[in-house]
Amino acid sequence: MNKLSEDEIRDKLKNLNNWEYKDNKLVKEFKFNTFDDSVNFLKLIQPIADSLDHHPDVHIYYNRVIIELTTHDAGGITDLDFKLAEKIDDLSTHVR
């Protein structure tokens, strides 16, 4: 996978919902009601990440989940990160 340029990243960000580009990653915070909801959200992401063979860095703070996407192998953001971000956005609307 090819690392995307800053311009490409900023352009593609317009197609996503509330993701920010920070420290060479795509970052988004999700809010839930309970820790259980946070964990369930992660469980929904797991099969998607496995099917893409692309995995998020995840922070869980009780009812808050911060997802960070970057392609470790490429040392930056690639189309795979945008693909995963889109699929996560599709999910989150169902969880809330």
Ligand X SMILES: C[C@H](O)[C@H](O)[C@H]1CNC2=NC(N)=NC(=O)C2=N1
Please identify, among the stretches 12-20, 25-33, 53-61, 88-96, the one whose residues bind ligand X according to the rule CB under 6 A.
53-61
| Least Cβ distance, residue 50 to ligand X (angstroms) | 9
What is the per-residue DSSP string for 5-51?
PHHHHHHHHTTSSS-EEETTEEEEEEE-SSHHHHHHHHHHHHHHHHH
From first CA to last CA, the distance across the chain in angstroms is 32
Residue 25 interacting with ligand X (CB under 6 A): no
Residue 3 interacting with ligand X (CB under 6 A): no
Residue 72 interacting with ligand X (CB under 6 A): yes
Residues that bind ligand X (CB under 6 A): 53-55, 71-73
